[in-house]
Amino acid sequence: MIIHTSGPTQHNNLVPYPFTGTRAAPTAARPTVIWLTGLSAAGKSTIVDSLNPVLQARGLTTCILDGDSVRTGLCRDLSFSAEDREENVRRVAEVAALMVEAGLTVMVALISPTRAARKLARSIVGSARFVEVFVDVPLAVAEARDPKGLYRRARAGGIAGFTGIDSAYEPPEFPELHIRSDEVEVQRAVRMIDDWLLARG
Ligand code: ADP
C-alpha cells in the first residue's frame, strides 16, 4: 500500500519514497469505492449495511466508512463548519484511497453535501474506481423518518448548520447511480448497486 498525498502540503521537506510492488495482488473484482451521498436519514447507512453481506458473499473484502463513526475517531477534531466538512470528506477519501489500493471494496456513507468536496473525493480516489451513489429522498420524508431525532433537534434550534435545514445539500449532477429511497425498498437499492458493479465488471 502506498500512502500518497493528493495535493500540496504546508511542508516542503516531504519526499515520498518511490515504493515499488506494493499494489495488492489483482483479484477477480475491481476494487472500488462506493460513495453514498445524501441527506441525513436518506438511508445511506441502512443500504450499506445490507449491501455489505452481498458483496462479501461474492468473495469481496469490504470496509465501511460511515460518517458518524469517522467523526468519533479519524475526524473527531472537526466541526461542522464548511471548511471542516470539506476536510472531513478529504480525510475519508484519503483513507478510502489507501484501502482501495490495498484491494478492498470500500463503502462510504457520508452526507458529503457539496459538489466540490465530492469532486475532490473522486479525484483523490481516482475516477475509474469511484462510484457515486446519490441516495435521494425528499427532505420531508427524511424529516419524518428522523431515526436519530436530529431533524427535530435542528428544527428546535439545537443544531446549527444542519444539512437540509440551515445548510445546503447540493445534489449530484451526474452520479453513477441515483436511488430514490422513498420509492425503492432497501433490498432493491442493494440490487441496483450490486447490478451496477456486476455490469461494469
Ligand atoms: P443515513 O445513513 O442516510 O443518515 P440511515 O440509514 O441512518 O440514514 O437512516 C435511514 C432510515 O430510513 C432508517 O431508519 C431506515 O430504516 C429508513 N428507511 C426506510 N425506507 C428506506 C429505504 N428504502 N432505504 C433506506 N432506508 C430506509
Which domains does the chain possess?
33-200 (3.40.50.300)
- What are the grid coordinates assigned to 187, written together? 433490498
Q: Of all atoms in ligand 1, which is nearest to the CA of residue 47?
A: 25
Mean pLDDT of 25-40: 84
pLDDT band, residue 123 (cuts 50/70/90): very high
Q: Of all atoms in ligand 1, which is nearest to the CA of residue 183?
A: 23
Is the Cβ atom of 145 under 6 angstroms away from ligand 1?
Answer: yes
Is the Cβ atom of 185 under 6 angstroms away from ligand 1?
Answer: yes
The answer to whether 137 and 44 have CB atoms below 8 angstroms apart is: no
Is the Cβ atom of 190 under 6 angstroms away from ligand 1?
Answer: no
Residue 28 has pLDDT above 60, yes or no: no
pLDDT confidence of residue 20: 73
Is 39 annotated to bind a ligand? Reply is: yes
pLDDT confidence of residue 18: 76
Mean pLDDT of 15-35: 74
Residue 107 backbone phi and psi in degrees, to 5: -110, 125
- Residues serving a catalytic function are 112
Among the residue ranges 11-20, 48-57, 72-81, 186-195, the one predicted with the least confidence is: 11-20
